[in-house]
Structure 1
Amino acid sequence: MNFAVDANDPPRLPVADRRQMVSEVRTLAAGSWWRVGGIMVLLLVAAASTLVLPLTVGWIVDTASRSGQSGIPTVFWWQLAGLGAAAIVGGAVEFFGVVALGRLIDTMVAELRERYLTAALALPEAEIERVGAGDIVTRAATDTRNVSEEFPTILPAVAAAAFTITLTLVGTAVIDWRFSVAFALAVPLYVAALRWYLPAVPPVYAVLRSADSTRGERVLTTLSALPTVKAFHAGPGRVARIRTAAWEVARWEVRAKIMQNRLFSRINLAEVVGLLVVVACGFFVAAPRGTSLGEITAASLLFLQVAAPISGLLYVMDDLQSATASLARVVGVTHDLPRHSEPTEPAETSSPATESLVHVHDVSFAYRADHPVLDGVSLHVSAGEHVAIVGTSGSGKTTLARLVAGVREPDSGRIDLAVTRAQIAYLSQEGHVFSGTLRENLLLAAPGSTDDMLRSALQITRADTLLKSLPDGLDTVLGEEGHRITAADVQLLSLARMVLSDPAVAILDEATADADSSNAALLDDAAAQALRGRSAIVIAHRLSQARVCDRIVVLEGGALIEEGTHDELLEAGGRYAHLWLIYSAQL
């Protein structure tokens, strides 16, 4: 089989091995082993009740064949009562066992989702950019859904099969040990089916899940960059890539279904052969030695009784492989990757000799080796200083900001920090409102904040007007399903989150660039208030933001070409003065 992956697709997050999955399941099940034991007892009782039917039917056959009297023997009614009681008790016990097991699994899966979300949010931004959003989202959505939907069905089937097979073998041995030998003759067929299936199918599901991640990545990146795709007329090419990825998912799903059907055909063959062997053993081997017709009937029904859970077990093997592949992808994030509660510092970091909180030393960076983005840039930001970075599109402004924020690491040079990465806040122009109340949206930045602290942050960032306009105040539900707010309000909300997080260094990467001109003054004032008392790097979309900063740095072609205050740069008559002239003419 060809399991090749498109070289143009991003790398993937790790996938857990069996040892790591077992360790994670033990962690999730910690404190619940007594519940697991109780559930196993219920399922064992349910499995034992299923043996009443074949044994009682065999008893009925013997009763009918040996009875010389006309009419219905009295014991027949007791036999029927036993069947009814076993069915009622077995059904009730199995119901409670399956429900209890389902609740336990749902609880464990819910905790697994939380652990995954915690681990995913703690991933370094460089790692997120490396693997792409598609892999992260499909693991959070598709894979966790597969785990939660499949395992509540699989585990009861596995437990029922194990108990039923064990009890049935004991029952047949009690009837006549020769029937146990006949049962054993069918085992090689089941084993052969598993020996073919187990090595062949896991790689198929692994590639299927990877293809699903690729499809999600291509769809998400296209939708998130839709204006750029339209501007460069790249739609047909992006659609073609999505179509190719979707076809790969369909192709691997069909391949998995074909292998599933082949497994089922082998199971059906084993059932037919096994039943024929048991019946033949009963009539040609056991009957001449005194085994009754009822006992032969009971043994045949017991084989069918054990064949059903065996078949069910093999049938769910397909679901088990799919669910295990999904579990491995989720646990690969929750188990392998470290919890980045304290972001990692660069390898070459030293305490700056001055009062600078950020000191960039001769930094160069390139996304591709043949296309440098920054070339020998040096910059420092002192305590409480606001530094604006301006330049045309493609000059390296955002790249420099992301290097300082720790999203990327420089190819050469170094960045010295007098603060930890956790004390640096990076705000891009892509503000987001989560589905939830205004309070919940703000508490993301500082979970322990009081309502007074939330209102104060909104007031500082000039978003108190927004608060007053909402029908339920802090309890107003925002997002797609709730109250819609404007793009300017979204950016004010982002600034309020930054105030609540209280960073030592704030980086605004055109964080107020999406608003229309009528809100520009409001956003500029809100940003200025949010940055008061803290160091800041401002990627200025509007030069009015740069003008009020303590110092302005001009980038062009990845190099720092000018530096100074607004007045100094205007007097120098260089690149900044030219940009200011153009900006002023548009006002």
Structure 2
Amino acid sequence: MGFHGGGWWAYISHDEKQERPAITRELLWRVWEFAQPYRLKIIFLLLTILFITGLSLVSPLLVRSLIDDAIPNEDYRLLTLLAVGMVAIPIVNGGIGVFQRSLNSQIGEGVIYDLRRALYEHMQRMSLRFFTQSRTGELMSRLNNDVIGAQRAISDTIVTIISNIVSLVGTLAILLTLEWRLTLLGLAILPLFVLPARRVGRILRDLRRKSLEISAEMNATMNETLNVSGALLVKLFGRQEREMTRFADDAAEVRDIGVRSAVIGRWFFMMLSIIGAVGTAVVYWVGGYLVLEDAFTIGTIVAFGSYLSQLYGPLMALTNAPVEFAQSMVSFERVFEALDIPVEIDEKPTAKRLEQVNGRIQFQNVFFSYSSEDHAGGLQEVARFSWRGGGAAHLKRGKAKENGEAIENGKAAASEQRWALQNVNFSIEPGELVALVGPSGAGKTTITYLIPRLYDPTDGRITVDNQDLRDVTLKTLADNIGMVTQESYLFYDTIRANLLYARPDATDEQMIAAAKAANIHDFIAQLPDGYDTVVGERGYRLSGGERQRIAIARVVLKDPRILVLDEATSHLDSLSEALIQEALGKVMQGRSSLVIAHRLSTILAADKILVMEKGQLVEQGKHDDLLARGGLYTNLYETQFKQAETLK
């Protein structure tokens, strides 16, 4: 890596082409909001900085007194006192420094705790749409790398800046008292410190942001390919080399950015050191001349030289302070980007609790699109717009600008909207079993997602017991709706912990009863550790049918008033399916149940069948009535349900 053809400025100039958002007053205020709970500790921290800096400024004066007074006057008592003082100052400073470090750590670790908690809580409130459009590894990067970077800004960068400011002001005041002409001469080189700092600060700040972005990409790659599902896919398709190359490319880019930042920083500090050395030499030369002219004492010039080093040190650090501060603020920017993403599924302040739910569900003129322009996308999309200076708060406006051709003159291109559901109307009465059928992509799963309010309708409304889902609390809604999804997810924990996730206060008897209802108790009892068996990552130590039955037992243990089953028996053999169907028949009694049905037995038992096609409800009724119409349901019955039943 060479620096010919223009030196270090040429080396770094290509990184200066892109402008980034400036550090704003709003950003600093938000940082202060996180620091406010620790303001008392911050005050004590500032006092320790003042005390340590004040004591450090005394040492050169002791040296001057030693040279000019104690030694020439052969004052043994003063000599002893000065020697004791020279030892006492570092001891006192060291003790106070330990206390300062303790305060600093408490503030920094406290801020990182608050940031992590705020970010995690915000992520927990995000809708399912956000997680389908965000990479898990990138979310992990925000919670770890960015939050730690923000903590460094509080506990290291800001404290260092304050310490250097106090030291600079104190040193400057003493220097002016000692010899104002030499002080002005020493400050004459100040512009040479300041001018390079602005350029380098912007470059290093951009490199820092780019490094965090690439690190997030690297984390996402690791998360996608090192979990069970990802690792299985990679092995089945023999793509290990491709994934290793992709990871190596990201890691190499992080490495190169780190090297570039280090080299740029080293060149910068080398220039500052040379400038400082020139300033010191000039001051010593002029000061030495004044000593020879008897206008200065030797002790004064020695003390002046010591203070000059204390002046240039903080001055160099403060010259680079905008660089370090800007880099540390990048982490706060990225954390705030995530915190500013609007919550799509939010709870109204006036939301009511669902009490004594009967289970009447109504869909009224419901439209829904997964690509709605009314909601923010994933984390990557928010970050992409923030690079243009907007952030999450301006995402919607940015998207509108980007799609200006399609929404010309303010007219939305409604015909281009891809609807997952269009004008869906139906009702489920308390205690009814409703079967949902239709070809793939008809909108069946979307309907099941809307009932527990994983998404909100783009238009129309959904009610439970005549109350709009958006008017009830999310907690009581979740408490009264039980759902078994297509993919049964289990935590890397014991079977017991996975079952009790639905109802933490359940007794062993209730847990076992739920497992028996799902026909999984006998299997669990045969395991060496029984209910304390660890199921592995995503439950992959179990078969698909076993995971599904545990998921069903979990919902049975929850004992909800409304059941939503999305292909709940799709992974079961015929015997297990029969036992599960019998168990579910008992569980669904007295409860409103919506089942995506692929089994004829479920369809025949249903009180009502909803037939979906291309996001529209095209038919509804009972089995015999729908067969008599000769429509889509008849076709599905002849090609799918009847044939599947015959093959059993």
SS in 2 for 1:32: helix
Distance 1:138 1:383 in 2: 46
SS in 2 for 1:291: coil
Q: Quick one: which of 433, 441, 444 aligns to 1:386? A: 433
Q: Quick one: which of 426, 441, 449 aligns to 1:402? A: 449
- Matched to 1:180, the amino acid is T
What's the counterpart of residue 420 of structure 1?
469
Check if 1:334 corresponds to 2:339.
Answer: yes
Instruction: Report the TM-score when normalising by structure 2.
Output: 0.71
**Is this contact kept in 2: 1:538–1:546, CA < 8 A?**
no
Q: Quick one: which of 567, 580, 583 aligns to 2:644? A: 583
- Matched to 2:436, the amino acid is I
Shift of 1:361: 3.4
- Matched to 2:108, the amino acid is I
Of residues 312-321 and 99-108 in structure 1, the stretch that sits farther from structure 2 once superposed is 312-321
What's the counterpart of residue 211 of structure 1?
214
Q: Deviation string for 1:188-228 (max 9, x for gaps)?
A: 23322332233333333333333333444455455676366
Distance 1:129 1:579 in 2: 30
Distance 1:167 1:275 in 2: 18
Q: Deviation string for 1:133-177 (max 9, x for gaps)?
A: 343222112212333356433343223222222222222233222
> 1:145-544 counterparts in 2 under 5 A?
145-149=148-152, 151-221=154-224, 226=230, 245-285=250-290, 288=293, 290-312=295-317, 319-334=324-339, 337-338=342-343, 341-342=346-347, 357-359=361-363, 361=365, 363=367, 365=369, 374=420, 376=422, 378-384=424-430, 385-403=432-450, 406-407=453-454, 414-418=460-464, 419-421=468-470, 422=474, 423=477, 425=481, 427-434=484-491, 450-452=505-507, 456=510, 459-460=513-514, 462=517, 465=521, 486=542, 491=548, 494-495=551-552, 505-510=562-567, 513=570, 519-521=576-578, 524=581, 533-540=590-597
**Is this contact kept in 1: 2:198–2:322, CA < 8 A?**
no
Shift of 1:575: 1.2
**Is this contact kept in 2: 1:510–1:540, CA < 8 A?**
yes
Shift of 1:89: 0.5
**Is this contact kept in 2: 1:391–1:556, CA < 8 A?**
yes
Distance 1:315 1:472 in 2: 60
Distance 1:503 1:150 in 2: 48
Check if 1:553 corresponds to 2:614.
Answer: no
Shift of 1:283: 1.6
**CA separation of 1:481 and 1:535: change in aligned 2, threshold 3 A:** closer
Check if 1:130 corresponds to 2:133.
Answer: yes
Distance 1:520 1:16 in 2: 61
**CA separation of 1:239 and 1:90: change in aligned 2, threshold 3 A:** closer
**CA separation of 1:577 and 1:482: change in aligned 2, threshold 3 A:** closer
What's the counterpart of residue 11 of structure 1?
none
Distance 1:399 1:339 in 2: 17
Shift of 1:272: 1.8
Of residues 86-95 and 192-201 in structure 1, the stretch that sits farther from structure 2 once superposed is 192-201
What's the counterpart of residue 49 of structure 2?
43
**CA separation of 1:84 and 1:375: change in aligned 2, threshold 3 A:** closer
**Is this contact kept in 2: 1:17–1:328, CA < 8 A?**
no
SS in 1 for 2:188: helix
Distance 1:48 1:363 in 2: 69
Say how many residue pairs are matched: 561
What's the counterpart of residue 114 of structure 2?
111
- Matched to 2:607, the amino acid is D
**CA separation of 1:558 and 1:450: change in aligned 2, threshold 3 A:** closer
For the aligned residues, what is the CA RMSD?
4.6
**Is this contact kept in 2: 1:29–1:108, CA < 8 A?**
yes
Shift of 1:39: 1.9
Distance 1:140 1:289 in 2: 64
Distance 2:186 2:580 in 1: 79
Distance 2:304 2:99 in 1: 29
Shift of 1:278: 2.9
**CA separation of 1:493 and 1:251: change in aligned 2, threshold 3 A:** farther
Shift of 1:478: 5.7
**Is this contact kept in 1: 2:364–2:425, CA < 8 A?**
yes
Q: Quick one: which of 135, 141, 146 aligns to 1:143? A: 146
Distance 2:288 2:497 in 1: 74
**CA separation of 1:434 and 1:104: change in aligned 2, threshold 3 A:** farther
SS in 2 for 1:389: strand
Distance 2:537 2:445 in 1: 33
Shift of 1:303: 2.1
Of residues 306-315 and 140-149 in structure 1, the stretch that sits farther from structure 2 once superposed is 306-315
**Is this contact kept in 2: 1:16–1:332, CA < 8 A?**
no
- Matched to 2:169, the amino acid is T
What's the counterpart of residue 58 of structure 2?
52
Shift of 1:122: 0.6
**Is this contact kept in 1: 2:60–2:307, CA < 8 A?**
yes
Distance 1:517 1:28 in 2: 58
Provide structure 2 residue ranges, at least 5 long, that are not aligned to the other structure.
Answer: 1-13, 351-358, 373-414
**CA separation of 1:383 and 1:221: change in aligned 2, threshold 3 A:** farther
Of residues 161-170 and 146-155 in structure 1, the stretch that sits farther from structure 2 once superposed is 146-155
**Is this contact kept in 2: 1:492–1:526, CA < 8 A?**
no
Shift of 1:92: 0.7
Distance 2:17 2:245 in 1: 19
SS in 2 for 1:35: helix
Shift of 1:48: 2.0
Shift of 1:482: 13
**Is this contact kept in 2: 1:20–1:335, CA < 8 A?**
no
**Is this contact kept in 1: 2:201–2:323, CA < 8 A?**
no
Of residues 152-161 and 231-240 in structure 1, the stretch that sits farther from structure 2 once superposed is 231-240
Shift of 1:102: 0.6
Shift of 1:64: 7.4
Distance 1:3 1:230 in 2: 42
**Is this contact kept in 2: 1:53–1:83, CA < 8 A?**
yes
Identity of aligned residues (%): 23
Provide structure 1 residue ranges, at least 5 long, that are not aligned to the other structure.
Answer: 6-14, 346-354
**CA separation of 1:315 and 1:328: change in aligned 2, threshold 3 A:** same
**CA separation of 1:150 and 1:515: change in aligned 2, threshold 3 A:** farther
**CA separation of 1:495 and 1:532: change in aligned 2, threshold 3 A:** farther
What's the counterpart of residue 40 of structure 2?
34
Q: Deviation string for 1:100-136 (max 9, x for gaps)?
A: 1211221222122111111111112223333443432
